Amino acid sequence: MRKRTASVIALGTFIAGLLLGFAGSHMSYKAKLMAYEMIDIEYMATYVTIQQYQGTPQAYETALRDYLAALDQRERAGRGPFSQAIPLDRAMTYARLALLAAERNDLSAATKYRTQAEALCPQLGWKSCSADEMTAVVRRLDEHSLWNPKSKSVPGHGS
């Protein structure tokens, strides 16, 4: 009887250890997934920002297209911690591409990008949403970016 009790206790302890190990590895996996997704987002944002303020308009447009491809890849990978931001990122990227197309007088491409941006409105949850509003938001964000060399410095934050 003692041998049987000891075996049951050992088996129970083994099973409990397996369950705790699985739970721990699952939590670690989720944390790593979030970290990798954050790194990927930051990498792409840095790449686009550098091209926007230091590159040519063509290099900036290429960076925006690369960012759209990265967003598509992230969406295909399945839901992650930042998946809810994909439609907004995509809409703002289309708005920026529309601005670039308008600057080079490619009105057909500008209209196409504005339409693509506006098509994402239902997913954004904005009170009021249009291509014009997205363009205004993008312009404001870009004009006041800390990385914009033409931007005035923020009071109390250095030069």
Domain total in the chain: 1
Residue with tokens 């598509």, as numbered in its chain? 72
User: 59: closest CA among 21, 100, 22?
Assistant: 100
Q: ∠118-123-129 over CA atoms, to 5°?
A: 40
What's the one-letter identity of residue 89? D
The answer as to whether 8 is a domain residue is no
Q: Cα–Cα distance between 56 and 64 in angstroms, integer?
A: 12
Q: Cα–Cα distance between 107 and 100 in angstroms, integer?
A: 10
The answer as to whether 108 is a domain residue is yes
The answer as to whether 148 is a domain residue is no
The answer as to whether 87 is a domain residue is yes
The answer as to whether 26 is a domain residue is no
Domain carrying residue 109: 34-143
pLDDT at 91: 96
The answer as to whether 90 is a domain residue is yes
User: Per-residue pLDDT for the chain (159 aa), expressed as one digit of tens each?
Assistant: 677 787 777 667 768 776 777 766 766 666 676 677 777 778 888 999 999 999 999 999 999 999 999 888 888 877 777 778 889 999 999 999 999 999 999 999 999 999 999 999 999 999 999 999 999 999 999 998 888 888 765 554 444
The answer as to whether 102 is a domain residue is yes
Contact in structure between 40 and 134 (CB atoms under 8 Å)? no
pLDDT at 149: 85
Contact in structure between 117 and 134 (CB atoms under 8 Å)? yes
DSSP assignment of 73-133? HHHHT---TTGGGHHHHHHHHHHHHHHHHHHTT-HHHHHHHHHHHHHTHHHHT-SS--HHH
The answer as to whether 19 is a domain residue is no
Residue with tokens 């397996």, as numbered in its chain? 18
Q: Cα–Cα distance between 109 and 42 in angstroms, integer?
A: 28
pLDDT at 3: 79
